[in-house]
Every structure is written in C-alpha cells, then in structure tokens.
C-alpha cells in the first residue's frame, strides 16, 4: 500500500464497493487503473488527470489532499487562470510557457539551505543538456519548445544587459 492508496481507500463512501468506485470513475479512468491505485500498485508520480478524477468522484476528497498523499507539491485547489494579457502570446510563446510550467512542477526543489551558485552560462548548459536528453528519448516537440523558450530568454537577457551597460560616449 501507499499513502495515496491509503487516502483513497479511507475516502470511499460507506456502502460503496470497489465496483461502485469503478463506476464513479468510468468516464475518466479504466478499471485496471482504479484497482491499481486502490491497491497501491501505481506510479510514484501519478498524473494530474488521475488525481483529478479521484477528487471529482470521491466525496470529501480534494485535489490538494490527493497531491499531498501522492507526495507531490500540493499547489492550489482551483485551476490557475493566466492574466488576460496571456491572450497576446503566440503559439510558440504559449508552448514555451507550458514547457516551463511543466518543468517547474516536475522538478524537485533544492533544499532550502543550498544557495543557488549557478551562473547563467551553467544554467544554459544544463538546460541544453536536458534538451539533448529529451531528443534522445524521442520527445522532440518538447525539446523544440524548451529550446525556443531558452533562446527567447537568452535573447531578452542579452538585450537587458546590453541596454544597462553604460556606453563610452555617455561617460
């Protein structure tokens, strides 16, 4: 058993059998997946759609409590709605932002006592190594989006640094 399966089993309503749980989730999850999660034979990092399906089907279950039981960042109960200005983003910018969000959510946070000692060049090198890893595992679309985001960020950073450097003729 896992903490998540313990939580799920504890929140099955009185009088419900496992087939009742499967029926409640039938629009979202197949029965094998439901049985695996109830038995604790599930992935270490359950996908959000699985947690959301259980949160909707089981009374008194919240998505944040399910995330906590799964050992994932709890986040917020309600979905995030970006500001209206996000409608001005191009498809490529949206894809880059989605890739960034995905990376942030699925990255283990550093211990709070560890100071960030990476230079921008080291960080860029690490991201490029990750992009190479994505390509070798066949995730070319995600690699392209992340590379576009990195190039855009580096370009913007270069522009900021260039404009903040005093020119010799202005001194």
Model confidence over 6-43: pLDDT tens digits? 999 999 999 999 999 999 999 999 999 999 999 999 98
106 vs 26, 27, 47, 59, 102, CA distance in Å? Answer: 27, 27, 11, 28, 6
Question: What is the per-residue pLDDT for 34?
Answer: 94
Predicted local confidence at residue 109, as pLDDT: 59
Check residue 50 and give its pLDDT. Answer: 94
Q: Which domain holds residue 105?
A: 84-163
* Domain assignment of residue 169, yes or no: no
In a domain, 170, yes or no: no
Question: Please, is 148 exposed, middle or buried when counting C-beta atoms within 10 Å of its C-beta (0-12, 13-18, 19+)?
Answer: middle
Residue 171 lies in a domain: no
| Integer Cα distance of 156 and 8 in angstroms | 46
The reported pTM is 0.57
As a three-state string, the secondary structure of 109-155 is CCCCCCCCCCCHHHHHHHHHHHHHHHHHCCCHHHHHHHHHHHHHHHH
pLDDT under 70 in the chain at which residues?
107-118, 156-171
Query: Given 69, 99, 119, which residue is the final one in a domain?
Result: 69
Question: What pLDDT, on the 0 to 100 scale, is given for residue 130?
Answer: 87
């Amino acid at each position: 058993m896992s903490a998540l399966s313990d939580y799920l089993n504890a929140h099955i309503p009185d009088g419900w059998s496992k087939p009742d749980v499967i029926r409640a989730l039938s629009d979202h999850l197949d029965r094998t997946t439901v049985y695996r999660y109830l038995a604790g034979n599930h992935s270490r990092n359950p996908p959000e759609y699985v947690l959301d399906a259980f949160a909707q089907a089981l009374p008194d279950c919240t998505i944040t409590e399910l995330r906590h039981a799964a050992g994932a960042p709890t986040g917020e109960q309600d979905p995030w709605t970006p500001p209206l200005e996000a409608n001005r983003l191009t498809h490529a910018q949206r894809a880059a932002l989605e890739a960034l969000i995905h990376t942030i959510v699925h990255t283990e946070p550093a211990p709070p006592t560890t100071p960030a000692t990476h230079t921008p060049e080291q960080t860029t090198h690490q991201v490029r190594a990750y992009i190479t890893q994505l390509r070798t595992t066949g995730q070319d679309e995600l690699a392209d989006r992340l590379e576009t985001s990195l190039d855009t960020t580096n370009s913007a950073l270069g522009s900021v640094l260039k404009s903040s450097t005093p020119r010799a003729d202005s001194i």
